[in-house]
Amino acid sequence: MNKLLVIWILVVCSFTVTIKAQQDAQYTQYMYNTISVNPAYAGSRGVLSIMGLHRSQWVGLDGAPRTQTLTINTPIGDKEKVGLGLSIVNDEIGPTDETFFGVDFSYTIRTSDTHKLSFGLKAGGHLLNVDFQRLSEFTEGDPLFENNIDNRFSPQVGIGVYYHTDRYYLGLSAPNLLETNHFDESSTQDSDAVSFLAEERINYYLIAGYVFDINPDLKFKPALLTKAVSGAPLQVDVSANFLLYNRLTLGAAYRWSAAVSGMVGFQVSDAMMIGFAYDRETTQLGQTQFNDGSYEVMLRFELFKKYKRMLTPRFF
């Protein structure tokens, strides 16, 4: 396994440390995956919306991250004040894999004919697996690597607020407010023995976007996602997407001090959209011959009521 991806485990084999890192999966096509980070988004599209996304990060590196996401959300009732959603995320990196699952609830208040303010709550949990047998140990027979971690459960509770119109949106959220200790091997009596601690940290998200009608056949939407978490650098993603003839989406994105991206999407029908994104690292990691970049594939399917059709595709 590539040392770049397991260095955190190799380091803890020599020192007593506390690992406080950015754990939430990242996405380039975050504008289509809002409910994963903000439960208040549930039901905001006004239809039953099903979205699946696969991300392969740093292709070519052994043990590189891979993420699969499935989300479902829909408004409840004719007044569409209540929204419900379901999110399932499987995130793999090196010897670890985590499965996140959450139920989303939102309540929407109309502040005017075109403006809505939504409040959201997420409740769920995640399962952690670590296969230590996939690692190369410094010392054979190290007792820290004798027992794998299998389906260790941790609860999750998150909140969010989402202000939106047909033209723009602004959201603030924290998908998980519980700082859970995954595992702690620090209770040894031997002061020279190895010990380590891995903690979940609260990830705070700020999202925003605005749609400009350049002409009847062309829309332009700049968007922003900012993620802050203790112990990790601030992540800032900015993107610019153009929607042509309500069918073809072309865009570019920049992840601050991390990567540049290209995106393309196509509205196959009123109900179905497909999207693709490619990232290229701007860090030293992107210069290695073993890193072919990161790829995302997205598919969204929406079900409409017979009397309610979307005249033009929603851009968010």
Residue ranges of domains in the chain: 32-180+214-305
What does the pLDDT average to over 75-81? 87
Q: State CA 281 to chain mean position distance.
A: 18
**Looking at residues 22-49, what average pLDDT do you find?**
88
Q: Which of 78-82, 153-157, 244-248 has the lowest average pLDDT? A: 78-82
What pLDDT score was predicted for residue 150? 80
Q: In the predicted model, what is the mean pLDDT of residues 166-181? A: 90
DSSP SS3 for 316: coil
Angle at 116 between CA 105 and CA 37, to 5 degrees: 45
Average pLDDT over residues 292-297: 91
Residue 162 or residue 78, greater confidence = 162
Three-state DSSP at 187 gives coil
The pLDDT, as a whole number, for residue 311 is 44
Residue 152 is predicted with a pLDDT of 86
Instruction: Give the strands of the sheet with 17-19, arranged side by side.
Output: 17-19, 196-199, 181-184
- Which of 18, 200, 230, 71 shows the shortest CA–CA distance to 125? 200
pTM: 0.83
Pick the CATH number of 32-180+214-305 from 2.40.50, 2.40.160, 2.40.10, 2.60.120: 2.40.160
Helix, strand, coil fractions of the chain, as percent rounded to 5: 10, 55, 40
Q: Which two tokens stand for residue 292?
A: 């072919």
Q: For residue 20, is pLDDT > 60?
A: no
Can you give the pLDDT at residue 12?
A: 38
Q: What b/e string do you get for 256-278 counting C-beta neighbours within 10 Å, with b at 16 or more? A: eebbebebebebeeeeebebebb
pLDDT at residue 308 tops 60:
no
Q: Read off the pLDDT band of 3 (50, 70, 90).
A: very low
Q: Locate tokens 């989406």: which residue?
A: 249
Banded pLDDT at 241 (limits 50, 70, 90): very high
Give residue 10's pLDDT: 36
In the three-class reduction of DSSP (H, G, I as helix; E, B as strand; rest coil), residue 17 is classed as strand
pLDDT band for position 107 (cuts 50, 70, 90): very high
Going by C-alpha positions, the residue among 271, 224, 302 that lies closest to residue 43 is 302
Q: Which residues contact 160 (CB under 8 A, 6 or more apart)?
A: 37, 38, 39, 40, 41, 119, 120, 121, 122, 171, 172, 173, 174, 175, 205
Does the pLDDT at position 306 exceed 80?
Answer: no
Mean pLDDT of 17-22: 40
**45 pLDDT above the threshold of 80:** yes
Of the listed ranges 191-195, 213-217, 263-267, the least confidently predicted one is 191-195
pLDDT at 24: 75
Residue 62 has pLDDT above 90, yes or no: no
d(CA 182, CA 131): 14
pLDDT of residue 294: 92
Mean pLDDT of 287-291: 68
Length of the chain in residues, anyone? 316
pLDDT bin (cut points 50, 70, 90) of residue 217 is very high
Q: What does the DSSP assignment read for 205-216?
A: EEEEEE-EEEET
